[in-house]
Amino acid sequence: MLMENDAILDTLSSHLTPATIRQMSATIGADPAATSKAVNLALPALLGGLTRNASNPQGAHALDRALNDHNGSILDNLGGLMGGAAGGGIGGAILGHIFGSRRGPVEQGVGKASGLNSAQIGQLLVMLAPIVMGVLGRMKKQKGIDASRLPDVLQQSTRKMEQQTPGAGGLAGILDSNNDGQIADDIARMGSSVLGGFFKK
């Protein structure tokens, strides 16, 4: 039986193919290798942020309600998402909920680690956030994962992704820090040891 954490990562991997990464690269005007490295850090950060938010009942219920608006249909039109059809509003709103005041430092850290500028990282996160929410929303719809199960599923997925992304193992802990000014530097240091990571088969 496929574990939910494997299902999340497998679904993300199936959609974030080399062709998708190349399309993202073209959209943000970046090198595919740098884009791939940025995604390797951005995905654990996104899942880590969601895990942190869902760690209390109020946050878990809020995320559960939000997933009602993300049923996974966006996964069937990634070309439209990357072409700007979904606009920055959806992704930006999701990022605001996931990271709050930490959004800026996260973007700075991923940018430092990958060599992309802040505008490129901002665009990349705006594309990735709806994909992550779409995967979770589809799982909720298909597997009935509700607010009571979300925290465990997200914790398992975050741990598994950090295992797959050498160097990014402490991202969730960094996001728990109240010292937002150091988040960027900490993520940048992690990025120096990310090798292949999520896309390394």
- Examine residue 88 and state whether it is found in any structural domain, yes or no: yes
Domain assignment present for 196: no
- The answer to whether residue 197 is domain-embedded is no
1: pLDDT confidence band, cut at 50, 70 and 90?
very low
Coil, strand, or helix at residue 62? helix
Can you tell me the distance from the alpha carbon of 107 to that of 110, in angstroms, rounded to the nearest whole number?
5
Q: Is residue 31 domain-resident?
A: yes
173 belongs to a structural domain: yes
Helix (H) or strand (E) holding 10: helix 4-15
Q: Specify the number of domains making up the chain.
A: 1
User: Considering the domain boundaries, does residue 74 fall inside one?
Assistant: yes
| pLDDT exceeds cutoff 80 at 82 | no
Position 115 in a domain:
yes
Q: How far apart are CA 144 and CA 147, in angstroms?
A: 10
Cα–Cα distance list, 25 to 32, 130, 141 (Å): 5, 17, 31
pLDDT over 70 percentage in the chain: 74
pLDDT at 199 over 60: no
What CA–CA distance (Å, rounded) separates 108 from 68?
31
Is it the case that residue 69 has pLDDT exceeding 80?
A: yes
Q: Are 195 and 168 in contact (CB under 8 A)?
A: no
Distances in Å between the Cα of 9 and the Cα atoms of 100, 101, 175, 193 are 24, 26, 20, 21
**CB contact at 8 A, 24 and 138:** no
Neighbour tally for 160: CB within 10 Å: 17
The structure's pTM equals: 0.83
pLDDT for position 146: 80
Domain of residue 79 covers 4-191
Is 181 part of any domain?
A: yes
Give the tens place of pLDDT for each residue, 161-195: 767 665 555 555 566 555 555 666 766 666 555 54
The more confidently predicted of residues 77 and 103 is 103
Averaged over 39-44, what is the pLDDT? 84
Q: Which residues of 17-31 are buried (b: 16+ CB within 10 A; e: fewer)?
A: eeebbebbbebbebe
pLDDT digits (tens, 9 = 90+) for 103-155: 888 888 888 888 999 899 999 999 999 999 999 998 888 888 888 888 888 88
